[in-house]
Amino acid sequence: MSQVAAHCNHFSNDNNNNTNSHESAEEAVLAAAATIYRYRAPIASLDCMEEFAGTNEHLTALAGGGPGGGGLGGGGGLSGALGGALGTSTKEQMLLAREPLLSGSALVARQTNVTPGLRYRNLGKSGLRVSNVGLGTWVTFGPGVTETEAENVVVLAYESGVNLFDVSEAHCGPRAEVELGRILQRRQWKRSSYVVCTKIYWNTKSDERGLSRKHIIESVKASLARLQLAYIDVVIIHKADPMCPMEEIVRAMHHVVCQGWAMYWGTARWTPGEVMEAYSNCRQFNCTTPVCEQAEYHLFCRDKAELYMPELYNKIGVGLMAWSPLTMGLISGKFDEAGFPLISRSSFKSKRSSYSWTEDETGATTKETYTWIKERLEPEELRRQQDRQREISLVAERLGCTVPQLAVAWCLKNESVQCLLLGATSPAQLYESIQSLQLVPKLNATTMTDLERILDNKPTRPPIVSTLALR
């Protein structure tokens, strides 16, 4: 009997060992899968974000004890509840099983404010992650907008998942930095949860002329004081200075980064040649390279963003932060009494020019702008622009959206745009623009072909001329 009992005990121990080894194997698989996923390249993490993006119905089911697991408090365990409520694959269950145990209400609260279609992408080829839409505060802190309204816009952007705020002394003076700094201080958001971009601007009318080392360092220190921040995430040099050596500019920006005043630096309104020159100087003198270029991009200005910025990104890692998707806010799908479309004069500039409006250049009223356009456009060109605006309105009506939403979604359809800056003077206006993210998947090949036919301005590179043919 003792031998039989010993044999049974041995058999029982073998079963326990097999069970333990089986559980250990499952844990090892979970840990290995999570470890492999954690160290994937950034593009792989983007795929995962798109994979899990969508509605929050599964989180509601978890909180209320919906089908498939009886809520998080059910007896099926965390992974079982998640698998039943989500209907997820084994890989998703393994990843979700590693999440800390949260109550249903806490899990829902954590995901409620996630905006459908919002993505986080690396800025350039740096490690800085920014939302694919950012808040450009040119009009938010401009004249006619109260401090309360401006704060409501910033809060709505942050709670919607937007983590990038762009300010500039060129557009609305120091007020933008001061107001944004006050809002950030009052809200006490975690510093690592948002990204602040500010610009170093100069013009020939001010006392601070050029991009000397003195001007750059003084501007950065002044911005830090106005923003009440320990550091600035990205410092943008607004417009290149042909009178200042590029070596002095890149060495000054490298000093700013090394001192911890800024984490990254970029450019705005620079030509592709100037960006390449800055990169070459950075490599030559072992300085920090720029990570992004802010460029105008909308339905009527496409050359720089579509032809040259993808090449700069692939060659030297400079990303694209696009601005003015609504052509300075004048693409509204509306027409005046004479049937004239509300589009700005920047829509009719020469094909390969890059232009940015500042506060000194935007003094003209809307009526003067329309007069400027009407006086300089031939009747045939004016009629063509009217037809384009009306056809774009028909496309927007077919998609069930507004013309501004279509314009924003069209810009986001370009994969080269890593962050699109949106302007808003009210929370309602910002909410409408953010909803354009859900429109991007609806822009299929047929719709994009229709827009290309309407615009008829697809940029093309000039033909390559062989030097042998000139001999």
The yes-or-no verdict on residue 154 having pLDDT over 70 is: yes
Q: What is the pLDDT of residue 97?
A: 44
Neighbours of 436 (CB within 10 A): 24
> What pLDDT, on a 0 to 100 scale, did the predictor assign at position 366?
45
Q: Are 183 and 152 in contact (CB under 8 A)?
A: no
Query: Stretch 440-449: mean pLDDT, rounded?
Result: 96
Average pLDDT over residues 336-357: 42
What confidence score (pLDDT) does residue 143 get? 85
279, pLDDT greater than 90: yes
**pLDDT at residue 281, rounded to an integer:** 98
Average pLDDT, the chain: 76
Contacts for 238 with CB less than 8 Å, ≥ 6 apart: 168, 170, 199, 200, 201, 202, 268, 269, 356
Whole-number pLDDT of residue 389: 83
List the beta strands (DSSP E) in 306-349: 319-323
277 contacts 246 by C-beta, under 8 angstroms:
yes
Please name the residue ranges forming H helices in 114-199: 147-159, 169-172, 175-187
Calculate mean pLDDT across residues 443-471: 88
222, pLDDT greater than 50: yes
Asked if 69 and 50 count as a contact pair (C-beta separation under 8 A), the reply is no
pLDDT of residue 90: 46
H-assigned helices in 188-306: 213-227, 246-258, 272-284, 303
Given a cut of 90, whether residue 152 has pLDDT beyond it is yes
> Please, are residues 134 and 162 in contact by the beta-carbon 8 Å criterion?
yes
Alpha-carbon distance of 242 to 260, in angstroms, equals: 27
Residue 111 clears pLDDT 50, i.e. is over it? no
Segment 245-260, tens digit of pLDDT? 999 999 999 999 999 9
Task: Please tell me the predicted confidence (pLDDT) of residue 471.
Answer: 67
Measured from the Cβ of residue 312, the count of other Cβ atoms closer than 10 Å reads 22
Residue 437: the pLDDT is 96
β-pair type (195-201, 232-238): parallel
What is the model's pLDDT at position 340?
Answer: 52
373, two tokens: 């356009």
Per-residue pLDDT reduced to its tens digit, 229-247: 999 999 999 999 999 999 9
Which percentage of the chain shows pLDDT scores above 90? Answer: 53
Confidence of residue 204 (pLDDT cuts 50, 70, 90): low
Mean pLDDT (whole number) for 105-127: 72
Q: Are 81 and 70 in contact (CB under 8 A)?
A: yes
Angle, CA 395 vertex, CA 393 and CA 398 arms, to 5°? 110
Spell out the residues 6+ positions from residue 283 whose beta carbon is closer than 8 angstroms to its own.
289
User: Taking the C-alpha atoms of 347, 349, 353 and 357 in order, what is their torsion angle to the nearest 10 degrees?
Assistant: -60
Rounded CA separation 226/167 (Å)? 11
Is pTM beyond 0.75 here? Answer: no
pLDDT of residue 300: 87
Please state, in angstroms and rounded to a whole number, the distance separating the CA atoms of residues 323 and 357: 11
| pLDDT for 171 | 66
d(CA 238, CA 153) in angstroms, rounded, equals 25
Assign a CATH topology to domain 120-455.
TIM Barrel (3.20.20)
Is residue 75 pLDDT above 50, yes or no?
no
Average pLDDT over residues 46-62: 39
Residue 183 has pLDDT above 60, yes or no: yes
Q: What is the DSSP string of 354-415?
A: -----TTT--S-HHHHHHHHHHHS-HHHHHHHHHHHHHHHHHHHHHTS-HHHHHHHHHHTST
For the chain, what's the residue count?
471
Q: Is 129 helix (H, G, I), strand (E, B) or coil?
A: strand
pLDDT at 350: 36
Instruction: Return the higher-pLDDT residue of 2 and 390.
Output: 390
Which residues touch 250 (CB under 8 Å, ≥6 apart)? 278, 281, 282, 285, 287, 288
Alpha carbon separation from 386 to 383, 396, 397 (Å, rounded): 5, 16, 17
Confidence label for 32 from pLDDT (cuts 50, 70 and 90): low
Q: Residue ranges per domain, the chain?
A: 2-111, 120-455
| Per-residue pLDDT at 113 | 58
Q: Is the pLDDT reported for residue 126 higher than 70?
A: yes
Q: What percent of the chain has pLDDT over 70?
A: 62
List alpha helices for 424-466, DSSP H.
427-434, 445-455
Contacts by residues 82-91 (CB-CB < 8 Å, ≥ 24 positions apart): 85/58, 85/61, 86/58, 87/58, 91/33
391 vs 352, more confident: 391
What token pair was written down for 353?
A: 């020019």
Confidence of residue 210 (pLDDT cuts 50, 70, 90): confident
The least confident of 142-146, 203-207, 359-363, 369-373 is 359-363
Strands 120-122 and 164-166: unpaired
Q: Rounded CA gap, 376 and 48, in Å?
A: 50
Spatial distance between the Cα atoms of 421 and 401, rounded to a whole number of angstroms: 20
Query: Would you state the pLDDT for residue 463?
Result: 82
Q: What pLDDT sits at residue 383?
A: 76
Residues 405 and 432: beta-carbon distance below 8 Å: yes
Please return the burial class of 274, using the count of CB atoms within 10 Å of its CB with bins 0-12, 13-18 and 19+.
Answer: middle
Q: Using CA atoms, how far apart are residues 179 and 147, in angstroms rounded to an integer?
A: 8
Q: CA dist 434 to 150, 216, 430, Å?
A: 16, 34, 6
What pLDDT is recorded for position 25?
Answer: 59
Q: Binning pLDDT at 50, 70 and 90, where does residue 208 land?
A: low
- What's the pLDDT at 201? 80
